[in-house]
């Protein structure tokens, strides 16, 4: 008999493990011990009378029942978070957690800083989740309030619980190791990347939307998407990997400077990433209005929503697309 009441904690642990497919990473994400997470998953399996994961010494996978439960669990957790936001203690007050992807300059940082100027009474706190795919799941689960990235590149099931607005059509660039033959150019034409291998986050489950954008940009141009590889964490590790592989890295023009690398804008055509501000659908958290006002002001001041004729944007997007 299927229980009518399942603790949200058990579902939260299941969703984290299902999204990470790695119990150690899932436990770290939830700030719990791995043994506690494993115990909760076993408890959930017992309650449901179903095996949710396949486990070997090398990998973790979802069973058919696990795949069936995942969208249902997300829906239940989303409802719990909406209920807490509407009626919980301190509803209408508190800290707004804003993910900027990286701890450096960029569009998200500019929007956050302007919002702090517009609403100094609000507590707007930065987070750095590194990838909208991961951040969007955190928003859906109520552990994060806002993030920035290519929202249209998220998978439909995840996107269904979110709202977004395009805040900037962000020009793309390449990071090149110093001494690379393309580094002497002030700009790099897309055709100059033909026949080359370019890294765009393949293998990183947190940045699936970015890899998808790169795949669409590279299609038909002879540019090879670098195969999945472990993510280089930290500036020194990034420098070491760049020096070893010598692969150009797809980035935005505002991507932080990295040691022993140069950044060059891409041209002919100029590829644009539609950067959106993303939040949970139906959210009325204080501070969101300040972020919207900041995005409006910056877009007007810096012409962020202008798309020059001949620029490249992902298929199916209208220039100036607004709220989702």
Q: What is the CATH number for 255?
A: 3.40.190.10
Say whether both 197 and 253 belong to one domain: yes
In a domain, 126, yes or no: yes
Helices (H), 155-266: 156-159, 208-218, 235-245
**pLDDT for 234-249, tens place per residue?**
667 777 777 778 889 9
The sign one gets for the Cα dihedral 166, 167, 171, 177 is negative
Residue 35 lies in a domain: yes
Given a contact cutoff of 8 angstroms between Cβ atoms, the answer to whether 269 and 310 are in contact is yes
The backbone torsions φ and ψ at residue 5, rounded to the nearest 5 degrees and listed phi first, read: -120, 120
| pLDDT score at 95 | 85
Average pLDDT over residues 128-149: 90
pLDDT at 237: 76
Q: Number of folded domains in the chain?
A: 3
Please answer whether residues 233 and 102 qualify as being in contact, where contact means their C-beta atoms are separated by less than 8 angstroms.
no
Q: Has residue 13 been placed in a domain?
A: yes
Same domain, 82 and 99: no
pLDDT band of residue 89 (cuts 50, 70, 90) is very low
Q: Are residues 242 and 253 in the same domain?
A: yes
Residue 128 predicted with pLDDT over 90: no
Tens digits of per-residue pLDDT, 261-313? 899 999 999 999 999 999 998 888 888 999 999 999 999 999 999 999 999 99
- Tokens matching residue 308: 């020059």
- Per-residue pLDDT of 163-192, as tens digits, reads 999 999 999 999 998 889 999 999 999 999
> Does 119 share its domain with 197?
no
What mean pLDDT is reported for the chain? 87
Note the pLDDT of residue 174: 95
What range defines the domain where residue 227 resides? 170-267
Q: Which two tokens stand for residue 223?
A: 């540019």
Residue 2: pLDDT band (50, 70, 90) is: low
Same domain, 143 and 187: no
CA atoms in the 13 A half-sphere facing the CB of 120: 1
Do residues 223 and 249 make contact, with C-beta atoms less than 8 angstroms apart?
A: no
Residues 161 and 17 in one domain: no
Residue 84 has pLDDT above 90, yes or no: no
Say if pTM beats, i.e. exceeds, 0.85: no
Strand partners, 272: 171
Provide, rounded to the nearest whole percent, the portion of the chain with pLDDT above 90: 56
Same domain, 153 and 293: yes
């Amino acid at each position: 008999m299927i229980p009518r009441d399942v603790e949200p904690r058990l579902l939260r642990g299941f969703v984290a493990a299902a999204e990470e497919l790695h119990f150690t990473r899932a436990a770290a994400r939830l700030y719990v011990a791995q043994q506690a997470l494993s115990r909760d998953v076993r408890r959930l399996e017992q309650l449901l009378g179903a095996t949710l994961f396949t486990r070997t010494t090398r990998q973790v996978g979802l069973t058919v029942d696990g795949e069936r439960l995942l969208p249902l669990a997300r829906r239940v957790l989303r409802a719990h978070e909406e209920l807490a936001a509407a009626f919980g203690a301190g509803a209408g007050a508190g800290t707004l957690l804003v993910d900027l992807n990286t701890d450096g300059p960029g569009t998200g940082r500019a929007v956050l800083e302007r919002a702090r100027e517009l609403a100094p009474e609000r507590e707007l706190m930065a987070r750095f989740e590194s990838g909208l795919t991961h951040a969007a799941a955190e928003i859906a689960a109520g552990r994060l309030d806002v993030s920035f990235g290519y929202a249209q590149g998220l998978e439909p099931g995840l996107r269904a619980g979110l709202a977004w607005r395009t805040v900037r059509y962000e020009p793309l660039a390449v990071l090149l190791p110093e001494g690379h033959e393309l580094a002497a150019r002030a700009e790099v034409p897309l055709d100059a990347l033909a026949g080359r291998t370019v890294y765009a986050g393949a293998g990183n489950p947190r940045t699936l939307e970015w890899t998808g954008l790169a795949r669409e940009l590279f299609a038909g141009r002879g540019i090879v998407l670098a195969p999945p590889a472990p993510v280089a964490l930290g500036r020194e590790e990034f420098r070491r990997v760049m020096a070893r592989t010598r692969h150009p890295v797809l980035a935005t023009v505002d991507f932080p400077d990295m040691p022993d690398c140069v950044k060059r804008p891409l041209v002919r055509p100029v590829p644009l990433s539609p950067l959106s501000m993303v939040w949970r659908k139906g959210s009325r958290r204080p501070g969101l209005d300040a972020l919207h006002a900041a995005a409006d002001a910056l877009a007007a001041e810096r012409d962020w929503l202008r798309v020059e004729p001949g620029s490249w944007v992902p298929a199916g997007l209208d220039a100036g697309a607004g709220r989702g």
